[in-house]
């Protein structure tokens, strides 16, 4: 006696499902931009969609997010044992203001902890990490073109609390220990 | 289109490159802003 399983034919691309190249341990995989619905879709295996807080502005190629006002809440609990966070995109504008930062995750305010990547002028970008004692460690990447494609990798981070949203700041509310924080131009 | 991803483990260099190259091929030329 056998058991037949019938799977309806269909084009999985129509569902927006993406073939994640490194699925092992992947808990969040998002393409930001286009539509809000597409932006909050989590393509990670078994991943749940993010939820929207406030009113992010949707652009063809990115989302406009504002800390504590308009952001996407991934609902992902940061792994205490360490994880990896990767952002790929292009910086633009003068990132000296928060509204123009490429990526910012972490805890703001007193005892700020986290990292951000921003453009600081017409030809420079800056990657800055900071720690729960408020001491920052900046790293300048000079003579880069803002329109270059960048990737930002935070690896080996132990996130003790819920990692509630990104790429805008907010919040793992306790300290983290990042073994590696770097940006790479391409 | 821009990309952000999270893993619950530390990826190897080869895995990071695999992610980046995959995403780079997929992304349209664009920008990410907050």
Q: Is the per-residue pLDDT at A180 higher than 90? A: no
Q: Does A37 touch chain B (CB under 8 A)?
A: no
pLDDT confidence of residue A152: 60
Q: Which residue has the higher pLDDT, A137 or B23?
A: B23
Alpha carbons within 13 A on the beta-carbon side of A116: 28
CB A76 within 8 A of CB A172: no
Question: Does A186 sit within 8 Å of B20, measured CB to CB?
Answer: yes
Distance from CA of A125 to the nearest CA of B (A): 14
Q: Which residue has the higher pLDDT, A160 or B24?
A: B24
Question: Does B3 sit within 8 Å of A101, measured CB to CB?
Answer: no
CB A94 within 8 A of CB A102: no
pLDDT confidence of residue A73: 75
Question: Does B5 sit within 8 Å of A44, measured CB to CB?
Answer: yes
Show the tokens assigned to A120. Answer: 């600081």
Q: Does A58 touch chain B (CB under 8 A)?
A: no
ipTM given for this complex: 0.86
Backbone conformation region of residue A19, classed left if phi is above 0, alpha if psi is from -120 to 50, else beta: beta
B1-34 residues touching A, CB cutoff 8 A = 1-11, 15-16, 18-20, 22-24, 26-34
Q: Does A107 touch chain B (CB under 8 A)?
A: no
pLDDT < 50: residue spans in chain B: 30-34
Cα distances (Å, whole numbers) of residue A57 to A44, A52, A90, A170: 24, 11, 17, 18
Q: Return the residue matching tokens 């609390």.
A: A161
Q: Is the per-residue pLDDT at A22 higher than 80? A: yes
Q: Is the per-residue pLDDT at A77 higher than 70? A: no
Q: Which residue of A has its CA nearest to B24?
A: A88
Evaluate whether residue A54 is within a structural domain. Answer: yes
Evaluate whether residue A4 is within a structural domain. Answer: no
Contact partners, residue A177, CB within 8 Å, separation at least 6: A156, A157, A158
Number of domains in chain A: 1
Domain membership of residue A67 as a residue range: 24-185
- Cβ-based contacts under 8 A for chains A and B: 165
């Amino acid at each position: 006696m056998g058991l037949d399983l019938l799977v309806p034919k269909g084009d999985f691309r129509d569902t927006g499902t993406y073939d994640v190249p490194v699925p092992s341990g992947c808990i969040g995989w998002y393409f930001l931009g286009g539509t809000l619905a597409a932006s909050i879709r989590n393509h990670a295996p078994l991943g749940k969609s993010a939820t929207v807080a406030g009113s992010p502005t949707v652009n063809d190629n990115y989302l406009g997010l504002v800390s504590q006002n308009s952001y996407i809440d991934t609902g992902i609990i940061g792994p205490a044992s360490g994880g990896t966070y990767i952002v790929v995109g292009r910086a633009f504008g003068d990132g000296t203001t928060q509204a123009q930062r490429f990526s910012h995750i972490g805890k703001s305010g007193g005892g700020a902890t986290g990292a951000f990547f921003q453009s600081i002028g017409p030809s420079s970008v800056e990657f800055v990490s900071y720690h729960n004692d408020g001491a920052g460690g900046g790293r300048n990447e000079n003579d880069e073109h803002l329109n270059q494609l960048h990737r930002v990798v935070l690896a080996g981070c132990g996130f003790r609390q819920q990692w509630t949203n990104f790429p805008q700041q907010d919040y793992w509310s306790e300290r983290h220990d990042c073994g590696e924080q770097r940006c790479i131009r391409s | 289109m821009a990309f952000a991803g999270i893993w619950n483990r530390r990826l190897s260099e080869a895995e990071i490159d695999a992610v980046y190259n995959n995403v780079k091929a997929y992304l349209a030329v664009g920008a990410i802003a907050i």
